[in-house]
Amino acid sequence: MSWKDFLREGLLETQAYEVPLPDGRIKLDAMENPYTWPEPMREAWQHQLKSTDVNRYPDASARDLKQQLRTTYNIEADYDLLIGNGSDELIQIVCAAFAGAGSTVLSVDPAFVVYQSAAKLYSLSFETVPLDDDFHLDLDAMLAAIARFQPAVIFLAYPNNPTGNLFNNDAIATIIEAAPGLVVVDEAYQPFARVSWLSDRLAENVVVMRTLSKFGLAGLRLGYMIGHQAVISELNKLRMPYNVNTLSMETACYALKHHTVFDEQADKILRERSRMQQAFGRYESLEVFASDANFILVRAGGAGNALFDHLLQSGIRVKNLTASGGSLTDCLRVTIGKPDQNDSLLAALDDFYGCANGTGPDTGI
Ligand SMILES: *Cc1c(COP(=O)(O)O)cnc(C)c1O
């Protein structure tokens, strides 16, 4: 006997989630906000952290942070909040709550990869319904899958990752009505989509999940979930008491009080997104998908890996989704960076497609 014989089934064959280390390349692979904070804001923040007593445990119920979130986002007093170490942890908590033999987690394909890994972690079966050719919901197929699998949980990202688009509101409403279990509306990209499923009429089986990562604080690891008290109080039982540290909570409060700085950063990113969308559209061999997030999905028919390698050699790292297969074959997901970083990307594309710098592809005229 070895200790390995006691490991849970399938673990030895599983790979850990690997993320490439920053290597000096322009980093357009992880939906990070490229902007840092104005110096006076940075200093005031550091000044505030100086008086934090890290010898004490954090407030396990995160009262100040929840209050700040309520104020900043006008969250109904009737709803409760659950704070996670990134929304990744909240996805895990949801799966832990519905773990159990024979239960199913349903999502779409392609979807955020953590839904599947969290479902597997809790031995839930994971089913997906393919999105249509434009990456919209196939409502009939979703309803059929709901009828067939009776999913305990449905994850829908709004906008979706890695595709970037918002799903149709009526389709989401119909799915929620048909869902026998919980529906998680994942609004990681809400700072850019600027629409939300959150309202004062949230159905009891719906929770809205958000994160400060895409807002501009990926290093903090801070996610939150909003829903009816009945749901949140059950999920809260699975949260480790000190899952979020004092420094992250204090920083999050500070940042939320200064949210206009982040809103302006998002404005800049949105302006660059529309510039990049137009610029990408000039390359005939590049299929460009609509985006309501801070990234754009493109498909380089037949040349996904070659284009990815060319960008790497040009000092730019995007996310290569080719290995995911299916509709993501030859797809690259490009995070919107600062204007000069985006210019570098366009120059590398010109180079790849053999056209003059900045003029877009040579149409042969
Ligand atoms: C980035 C992302 C998350 C994870 O956010 P963290 O709070 O950083 O864990 C969740 N959902 C979607 C759809 C994302 O793209």
Q: Whose CA is nearest to atom 5 of ligand 1?
A: 87
Token pair 């998908």 is at which residue? 289
> In a structure prediction context, what are the per-residue pLDDT tens digits for the chain, which is 365 residues long?
999 999 998 889 888 888 888 899 999 999 999 999 999 999 999 999 999 999 999 999 999 999 999 999 999 999 999 999 999 999 999 999 999 879 999 999 999 999 999 999 999 999 999 999 999 999 999 999 999 999 999 999 999 999 999 999 999 999 999 999 999 999 999 999 999 999 999 999 999 999 999 999 999 999 999 999 999 999 999 999 999 999 999 999 999 999 999 999 999 999 999 999 999 999 999 999 999 999 999 999 999 999 999 999 999 999 999 999 999 999 999 999 999 999 999 999 999 998 754 555 554 44
Å from CA of 357 to ligand 1 middle: 35
Distances (CA, A) of 156 to 61, 153, 175, 252, 290: 27, 10, 10, 25, 17
Cβ proximity of 156 and 138 under 8 Å: no
Cβ proximity of 296 and 277 under 8 Å: yes
What is the rounded CA–CA span in Å between residue 61 and residue 242?
A: 8
55-257 and 7-36+260-353 share a CATH fold? no
End-to-end CA distance of the chain: 73
Q: Is 295 in the pocket of ligand 1 (CB under 6 A)?
A: no
**DSSP string of 70-139, one letter each residue:** HHHHT--TTEEEEEESSHHHHHHHHHHHT-STT-EEEEEES--HHHHHHHHHTT-EEEEEE--TTS---H
Q: Is 187 in the pocket of ligand 1 (CB under 6 A)?
A: no
Written as six digits, the tokens of 352 are 């790849």
Provide the residue ranges of all domains of the chain, joining segments of one domain with +.
7-36+260-353, 55-257
Q: What is the pLDDT of residue 180?
A: 98
What 8-state DSSP symbol labels residue 22? P
Residues ≥6 apart with Cβ < 8 Å to 176: 183, 203, 205, 206
Q: What is the pLDDT of residue 359?
A: 52
Distances (CA, A) of 33 to 9, 263, 269: 38, 11, 8
Q: What is the pLDDT of residue 18?
A: 85
Residues ≥6 apart with Cβ < 8 Å to 243: 83, 84, 85, 89
Architecture of domain 7-36+260-353 in this structure: Alpha-Beta Complex (3.90)
Q: For the chain, how big is the Rg over CA atoms in Å?
A: 21
Q: Is 251 in the pocket of ligand 1 (CB under 6 A)?
A: no
Q: Is 29 in the pocket of ligand 1 (CB under 6 A)?
A: no
| Neighbouring C-alpha atoms within 13 Å toward the C-beta of 55 | 1
Q: What is the pLDDT of residue 364?
A: 44
Pocket test for ligand 1, best of 31, 161, 190, 296 (most atoms within 8 A of CB): 161
What CATH number labels 55-257?
3.40.640.10
Residues ≥6 apart with Cβ < 8 Å to 240: none
Q: Is 335 in the pocket of ligand 1 (CB under 6 A)?
A: no
